[in-house]
Structure 1
Amino acid sequence: MLPYKTVIKLDKKACTPLYIQLCNQVIQLIKCGVLAPSTKLPGTRWMADTLQVHRKTVIAAYDELMAQDWIEVRPAKGTFVNGSLPLVEQQPISGTGLAEKARQKAGFSFIQRKHLNSRDTEFPRKGILGLDDGVPDNRIAPIEEIARVYRNIVKKSYNRRHLSYGSIYGNMELREALADYLNDTRGLSTSPDNILITRGSQMGIYLSARLLLAQGENIVVGETNYRSANKVFIETGGRLNRVRVDENGMVTSDVEALCKKKKIRAVYVTSHHHHPTTVTLSAPRRMHLLELSQKYHFAIVEDDYDYDFHYCNAPILPLASGDSGGNVIYIGALCKIVAPAIRVGYLVAPKDFVDEAARLRRVIDRQGDQILELTLARMIRDGEIQRHSKKALKIYHARRDLFCTLLRERLGKYFEFRKPEGGMAIWVTLREGYDWEEIKAEAKKNKLKLGGYCGDEDDTIDQPYPGLRMGFASLTPDEIKEAVNRLETTMKFLEQKVESYV
């Protein structure tokens, strides 16, 4: 007889009633082939005594099993597993080591996308400081304002219609608010019909790539480029054509040379603060790229990366503001202004492209969070987003200056960098004699986590980049000082190690 006391475990403290626990575990034994069809089950008294439960619990479990056709009662013979069930090969019982292995390894084949390999983002453990890729400080996010506006919306009964299915284009009030906001701040001349609300800029990049690139078609990116975008373009069948990036941004003469040799479908550019190097695409090159797009009929996918955080002067208006030929797809997000978890972005493009992107979005993610979108629309209309953006700009500006000063004064002998005109990170390159992977490993011992973009052994698309992004925006001034202390400790240790080799 099966050792029921061993294989069935009932938790009297669990929220699930005992009879349901017993029922579910017997079903699992049947599914695994441990209890074959027509196997006789113990009587209710014996089962109750064995499992140390009331007999009524076992009776209720058997009744539930019969109602679901897992077992049957044969008069004058007893209770049996339903004889009409198919005979299955015995499998590992749930909770055993073999069953755990089965949960880890699929029993079927599927497409594996090696080019999408990357490490998952995780919260830094307590006591660890991170010089990340350049993310905002969620501690200064306007949580009270968001909660107040959100609460006021859901309290109104007439807003309950937003709890149902809405437009695949996104909330109309947000599209209207964004049209005005982008026209005022970016010099665009757009309307709600030209705007699709997305779940952040990444969705906008994906939708654009899906519509622009067939298998093997060419897209131009920088030699250094936003790696998540590169992965999207490869995933959608595109062929990456890399061009140089210097202190003035993407070298557009290289783009022109490519256009003379092959058909280019799109150029992807982070025009304002190039990712990862933070340089700004110069005005002459912007004009040149627009001219090329009209001459060779390719799309410009302009990622509005960190546009709102420019410290030295007024930011250069995006390419989309000077687009007279309908060649620019302008992508941005409110995540960086508010907080990364607020997954609301936008795609601005000619109406026919937006219409097609909305239809594609329908089969990926039917719609976004209408209540959240309405909340952000109200906050834009009331000026809350703009006020928070100005507050964050002032905070991040001070943090940039402090971090760059400390890095130059205390670590200038090891690192080279340019103070960025905007954004949330600096691009740091190494002086001769040091290795980024070694630095990252040693920094980890000092409870300092360094960001990515100097190399990733899981990356099958990009070779290691020559520099490393060090984000400062998410750290307070005291945290910046401590992070520099830990980095200095790391570099001094490695310096002694290098000298010992010599």
Structure 2
Amino acid sequence: MGSPVSLAFSSFITIERQSATPVYLQIAQQVTNAIQRGYLPVGTKLPGTRLLSLQLQVHRKTAIAAAAELEAQGWLQLVPNKGTYVVSKQALVKLQRPKQNMPLLNSYPVQTGYSVKQSQILDAPFEYQNCTYYFTDGTPDVRLTAIKELSGMYTASMTRRRTLSKLQYHSADTDQYFKRQLSNYLNLTRGLRISPANLLCTSSKEMGLYLIAQLLLSAGDTVVVGELGHFGANMVFQNAGASLKTIPVDEEGICTDHLAKLCERTTVRMVYVNSQHHYPTTVTLGASRRMELLNLAGKYGFIIIEDDHDFEFQYGRSVSMPLASADNNGMVVYLGTFGNSLAPGFRTGFIVAPQNLIHELQKHLLLMDKKENVIAELVLGEMIEEGNIHRHLKKTLKIYQQRRDALCQILEDNFKDTVSFTKPDGGLALWSVWSTQNSLLDVSRKCAAKGLFIPKTLLYQNKKLTAMRIGFGHMDETEMKSSLEILKGSML
């Protein structure tokens, strides 16, 4: 037990009792790793299986099996009456001895030993700072999620006998229950006319957009987006090899007259639009422009990707239905998030499209994610069927509307001469245009030093515009006041 070799083994071999990999293979794999990296040099005599089993606290038969496996792979050689050694001297002519300066097991290579394709397109400015307060682009407050209710529904679902059969791979009815409920919900709330065959459920809306881009776009295809748009969606399209063309956005959404002129001189493959709440300006696409966009799609044959951004959060009495509800020619692919008012772990993405496209998208999805979160889908389906999702949304909408009004009032009271905005009819964010000459990046750095984090992705500043998208959903009124007090002090 006190020999250096036995002590070394306990320092670099870790056994995971709950792992699906047999213990003897875990030992063999970690010993192999130690030999390859020079931690166990060639010629090292290993302890006997009895001592090894005591050191690693495993059955002796397990230690014997590990040694046999290593010997079969050629890493160890048993010398009669002498012991077991790391690679025999005869085998050294076939195996290159590890370099003496190889790192020990407590380190890992900093870079690969082979070339890796690097992408500048995907160098997004994702960032995080540990501040007391922070702005978002419009996210719900996870504190409003009915955790107790959801946990109770999860527990009840897990204890049902029928749930076990649904957890199996290739189960025919794995997600049919949720799809039936979700299709009914979307038909009721969005004016659609779909069946479960028109639905594809994904882990997130972003995954859905990625699948669509990979399937429907080829290198050089033209994708049209708003002049101010969502950086994440733009990255997805560019990563698929598409060429982005921008068209202006005004108080009625994307300008379809500019799109018509573009289509006359360029073959457009796809148009990406947030019809309900344009990102980042929050404006709603006007009724006449909705019809014009559908007519142009029918005339020129381009695909409309309709991003259902913040559809659930509507504060006005009149609600505009999605483009997909008026699409008779199969030109619209509608995607969004169900359960957006819940905490992130309880949400799911969805795609609505004609059956032939859903069929092809399903093939691509199976390469990435063979099994959805069945329990979560069962619970979400029950929330729809029992009306819980409607009650939860109705309750939280009142709170979010109060927070919207509070943010507008605080901005008017503290920044009356420097900011202009229109109170949004829905969503969880406000678009603010500033008359200040300050650099917003400098302002954000000053705010961070005082405890308020403002991500770069919320800042829009050029020669013509100085603007900021401010999310209010995640903050209560006290947090808003403290945050905007820091912002005001940083702009002086």
TM surpasses 0.5: yes
1:75 aligns with 2:85: no
**Structure-1 residue corresponding to 2:113:** 107
**Structure-2 residue corresponding to 1:156:** 160
1:133-144 equivalences under 5 Å are 133-144=137-148
**Any idea what SS the aligned residue of 2:377 has?**
helix
| CA distance in 1: counterparts of 2:30 and 2:80, whole angstroms | 25
**Superposition deviation, residue 42 in structure 1:** 6.6
TM-score scaled by length of structure 1: 0.85
**Structure-2 residue corresponding to 1:65:** 67
**Structure-1 residue corresponding to 2:21:** none
1:31 aligns with 2:36: yes
On the 8 A contact 1:452/1:469 being kept in 2, the answer is no
Per the alignment, do residues 8 and 20 of structure 1 end up closer, same or farther by CA in structure 2, a change over 3 Å counting? farther
1:185-204 equivalences under 5 Å are 185-204=189-208
Residue-by-residue CA offset, 1:424-444 (whole Å, 9 max, x unaligned): 111223214111100100000
**Structure-1 residue corresponding to 2:95:** 86
**Any idea what SS the aligned residue of 2:304 has?**
strand
**Any idea what SS the aligned residue of 2:457 has?**
coil
**Structure-2 residue corresponding to 1:500:** none
Q: Which moved more, 1:61-70 or 1:77-86?
A: 61-70
On the 8 A contact 1:132/1:449 being kept in 2, the answer is no
Per the alignment, do residues 40 and 129 of structure 1 end up closer, same or farther by CA in structure 2, a change over 3 Å counting? closer
On the 8 A contact 2:431/2:469 being kept in 1, the answer is yes
**Any idea what SS the aligned residue of 1:275 has?**
coil
| CA distance in 2: counterparts of 1:144 and 1:58, whole angstroms | 44
| CA distance in 1: counterparts of 2:153 and 2:286, whole angstroms | 39
**Structure-1 residue corresponding to 2:368:** 364
On the 8 A contact 2:10/2:55 being kept in 1, the answer is no
| CA distance in 2: counterparts of 1:215 and 1:170, whole angstroms | 36
1:443 aligns with 2:447: yes
**Superposition deviation, residue 35 in structure 1:** 4.1
Per the alignment, do residues 287 and 167 of structure 1 end up closer, same or farther by CA in structure 2, a change over 3 Å counting? farther
On the 8 A contact 2:186/2:192 being kept in 1, the answer is yes
On the 8 A contact 1:10/1:22 being kept in 2, the answer is no
Per the alignment, do residues 256 and 16 of structure 1 end up closer, same or farther by CA in structure 2, a change over 3 Å counting? closer
Letter of the structure 2 residue corresponding to residue 198 of structure 1 = T
Residue-by-residue CA offset, 1:235-264 (whole Å, 9 max, x unaligned): 112111110111111011111111111111
Letter of the structure 1 residue corresponding to residue 472 of structure 2 = F
1:482 aligns with 2:482: yes
| CA distance in 2: counterparts of 1:230 and 1:167, whole angstroms | 36
**Structure-2 residue corresponding to 1:207:** 211
Letter of the structure 1 residue corresponding to residue 118 of structure 2 = Q
Letter of the structure 1 residue corresponding to residue 138 of structure 2 = G
**Any idea what SS the aligned residue of 1:272 has?**
coil
Per the alignment, do residues 93 and 4 of structure 1 end up closer, same or farther by CA in structure 2, a change over 3 Å counting? farther
1:450-469 equivalences under 5 Å are 450-454=454-458, 466-469=466-469
Residue-by-residue CA offset, 1:432-464 (whole Å, 9 max, x unaligned): 41111001000001100113435599xxxx999
Per the alignment, do residues 412 and 463 of structure 1 end up closer, same or farther by CA in structure 2, a change over 3 Å counting? closer
Letter of the structure 2 residue corresponding to residue 118 of structure 1 = A
Letter of the structure 2 residue corresponding to residue 364 of structure 1 = M
Per the alignment, do residues 481 and 21 of structure 1 end up closer, same or farther by CA in structure 2, a change over 3 Å counting? same
1:384-463 equivalences under 5 Å are 384-454=388-458
On the 8 A contact 2:34/2:105 being kept in 1, the answer is no
Per the alignment, do residues 140 and 168 of structure 1 end up closer, same or farther by CA in structure 2, a change over 3 Å counting? farther
1:1-12 equivalences under 5 Å are 8=8, 10=10
| CA distance in 2: counterparts of 1:323 and 1:9, whole angstroms | 67
**Structure-2 residue corresponding to 1:473:** 473
Letter of the structure 2 residue corresponding to residue 487 of structure 1 = L
**Superposition deviation, residue 318 in structure 1:** 0.9
| CA distance in 2: counterparts of 1:6 and 1:438, whole angstroms | 58
| CA distance in 2: counterparts of 1:236 and 1:169, whole angstroms | 33
On the 8 A contact 2:32/2:70 being kept in 1, the answer is no
Letter of the structure 2 residue corresponding to residue 92 of structure 1 = M
| CA distance in 1: counterparts of 2:465 and 2:210, whole angstroms | 23
Q: Percent identity?
A: 32
On the 8 A contact 1:168/1:362 being kept in 2, the answer is no
Q: Which moved more, 1:407-416 or 1:316-325?
A: 407-416
Per the alignment, do residues 390 and 92 of structure 1 end up closer, same or farther by CA in structure 2, a change over 3 Å counting? same
Q: CA RMSD in A?
A: 3.5
**Structure-1 residue corresponding to 2:293:** 289
Per the alignment, do residues 428 and 74 of structure 1 end up closer, same or farther by CA in structure 2, a change over 3 Å counting? same
TM-score scaled by length of structure 2: 0.87
**Structure-1 residue corresponding to 2:20:** none
| CA distance in 2: counterparts of 1:228 and 1:404, whole angstroms | 27
**Superposition deviation, residue 355 in structure 1:** 1.2
**Any idea what SS the aligned residue of 1:329 has?**
strand
Letter of the structure 1 residue corresponding to residue 84 of structure 2 = T
| CA distance in 2: counterparts of 1:95 and 1:221, whole angstroms | 49
| CA distance in 1: counterparts of 2:323 and 2:178, whole angstroms | 23
Per the alignment, do residues 305 and 35 of structure 1 end up closer, same or farther by CA in structure 2, a change over 3 Å counting? same
**Structure-2 residue corresponding to 1:498:** none
**Any idea what SS the aligned residue of 1:72 has?**
strand
1:231 aligns with 2:230: no
**Superposition deviation, residue 465 in structure 1:** 7.8
| CA distance in 2: counterparts of 1:233 and 1:72, whole angstroms | 56
On the 8 A contact 1:200/1:335 being kept in 2, the answer is no
Residue-by-residue CA offset, 1:171-215 (whole Å, 9 max, x unaligned): 111111122111111111111111111112112211222222111
**Superposition deviation, residue 6 in structure 1:** 12
On the 8 A contact 1:337/1:389 being kept in 2, the answer is yes
| CA distance in 1: counterparts of 2:30 and 2:183, whole angstroms | 57
| CA distance in 1: counterparts of 2:7 and 2:243, whole angstroms | 55
